[in-house]
Amino acid sequence: MTVYTTTASPLGELMLVGELRPAGVALTALSIAGGKGAGAQSDWVEDQAPFVSVLDQLDGYFAGQRTRFELDYAVGGSEFRRRVWQALDDIPYGRTVTYGDIAARVGAPRAAMRAVGAAIGANPVLIVRPCHRVIGANGRLTGYAGGIDRKRQLLELEHAG
């Protein structure tokens, strides 16, 4: 069963979506209101209870007390996307890397840079899978499903550089 909840955050309202499992909820999406992927589907059940741990971890992150998330994910994607997403998970808190760095980490040739960017852009769990830590080769902030201003907010929260 798909469950969801919303919560206030310094970035605006967040929507969390997950699949109920015997051990709890497996997060399938985390989006920001007004951004890509926001909005509940008619067959989803609204229920905050399964997300208590996720919400606590997000609160800790926004308070500057948590630098890593410990969550169960249930996101699909091709094997290539999963490799790219794993590379995102490996970016340390407070650090930024370039799209080229991610491509090198997953063994993608320079010609596959668009595919790497598309995989990063398809990340369904914003904030907790830190695609906001990926910047352009020139140091500029580029593409973020939650918007560049929110990407900047997250990097400032982490004192990233």
Coil vs helix vs strand at 150: helix
Is residue 12 within 8 A of residue 52, CB to CB? The reply is: no
Coil vs helix vs strand at 23: coil
Q: Tell me the Ramachandran region of residue 150: left when phi exceeds 0, alpha when psi lies from -120 to 50, beta otherwise.
A: alpha
Give the number of C-alpha atoms closer than 13 A to the C-alpha of residue 36, restricted to the C-beta side.
12
Give the number of other Cβ atoms within 10 Å of residue 41's Cβ: 8
> Which one is catalytic: 103, 131, 134, 154?
131
| Residue 22 is among the residues annotated as catalytic for this protein | no
Q: Could you list the active site residues?
A: 131
